[in-house]
Structure 1
Amino acid sequence: MNDQTPRPQIDHAKALIKVKAFGLNRMDLFQREGHYPVPPQAPKTLGVEFSGIIEELASESESSFKKGDAVFGLAYGGAYAEYIAVSTHMLIHKPDELSWEQCAGIPETWITATQAMYLIGGFKPGKSILWHAGASAVSIAGQQLSSANGASAVFATARSDDKTEFCVKELGSKAAYNTETTDWAAEVLKATDGKGVDIIVDYIGPQTFAGNLTAAARDGRIVNLASLSGPSFKPGMAEPNFGLFVGKRLRMEGSSLRSRDEDYQGKLRDQLHDHALPKFKDGSFKVLIEKVFKWEDIQDAHRLMESNKTKGKIICTIS
């Protein structure tokens, strides 16, 4: 904590934010270990989502923002800090109904879920959807979005019974399956009368690949956002039936949010603001927080995330 980083400079449409809280994400762990491809415009400092107060505005900033405004937003990096410089195109005014901690847990997770569902998955009311890693922050957001926006059925997977129970009781999923103890793909087919699900959002990669092909419906879409089970198939993993790709006319697409340009991210910010923010205000959507740390205890926060035992966001506050 003795190293000092200069206060960021702002230009064009950027604002200087005094950070009140920031959210942790799995990518932070990978970046810390040198395994995450950081965008060229990102600073070395970790962190992509935050809440705070505007201290300065550059000349091309959005006119709806002014000095002293309470905001939250998404950045390419630099949120683990007392100050962050970020485009005003990626900011949202903080509602009075939400705390600094809650707002810091919204941008990355809810925008990623929106991107996966709509822009990649082609979600429309009446479609069914499965969220892997159901107790992760993005899937917590995704299950709420799916239910609220007219999914015919929402399913989830997780690696423990308490997490699958959490998905059903707290998030409203029709069913959730423990991937350690059940043939989740077979259970999904059974629950859908053999049809399968229209959209699968996956972070696991090789370990769930074969099951995804089985559980997907004809003309289904599989959205891959990460590969937590590693970059390649390992002994003991189920062998995929590649004939299902053709037989079911499946589409699989990988995607990431952080590597997208500002225009792309800005459109997702607008969608979050227009469609989700009212539901945060009235309590329909919930930001579920596992634990709040002081930012001096960031190592403990990372250890908690590494434990894979959380059901919600990990947040750090800066006093």
Structure 2
Amino acid sequence: MESANQTGIPVFFLIGLIYVPELQPLFFNLFLSMYLITIIGNLLIILAVSKDSRLHTPMYFFLCNLSFTDICTSTTTVPKLLLNIQVHDQSITYIGCLSQVCFILTFCVLESCLLTVMAYDRYVAICQPLRYTIIMNPFLCICLVLLSLIISTINALLHTLLVLPLSFCTEQNVPNFFCELGQITKLSCSDTFINILFIYTATIIFSVIPLSGIIFSYIQIVSSILKIPSVGGRHKAFSTCGSHLSVVSLFYGTGLGVYMNASVSNSSISNVIASMMYSVVPQMLNPFIYSLRSREIKGSLRQLIIGIIYFP
């Protein structure tokens, strides 16, 4: 194939899952199950919080937005994968590929921002409880979510716009099950110095800085909790942070795993596993983490499910 820019390339090929006819039903059922669990679990969280007036607090408002973000992240990648498996076609159009790049960047950065906002919410609740309702007022909560969305969208659009001028030669195979920015950049036969520089800069801004903010918040939180005289009070304070800490550990832990994998391996199977660990698995597990560790969520989910079964 002659060297051509993006307008001359109709498709990329997602070769992360090697086509083996005997394994296709297994892959399809695995990803379909994970996707359905993600959608149902996060929708139940959103419905439970919406229906229960006791959960109309900043913490659960941010949780609803996190659940919605998880649904969007999985929907960006998994349905296309399921379609490709079903029709035995690994292709994705150039526009479809860029769309995946843009949306996955938007929702992953949005999740990072929301986790940081949730850490700030816990910091205010525990370190400044008397001023909590004044500081975390509805206007501020909405502004924090909107600001997170605007920042993540601008970042994704800038990355996507930087891909547009790139030319692609003969290599069109993406060693993954969706179009990931770094792998698409590697396929280009153009000078990608600016793209790579921007990728590393954005990675520092939207991973290192938020994680540092979360760690700082929890240092302050732990310091305040240790000053609480009663054991029951300390346990209650720790329990309100346990779910968030678990989700943060899962999200950033899998992100670190992806970074380490990219540094040491070019295997398509390794790429698929690493990508699943940050774009599919956390989104599926987050509802379970919050529902199992939060008594309020468990109670609301129980009432919601009973209402759905007995009073449809």
* TM-score, scaled relative to structure 2: 0.22
Greater helix share, structure number: 2
Larger Rg: 2
- Determine which structure has greater relative contact order: mean sequence separation of CA pairs < 8 Å that are 6+ residues apart, divided by chain length: 2
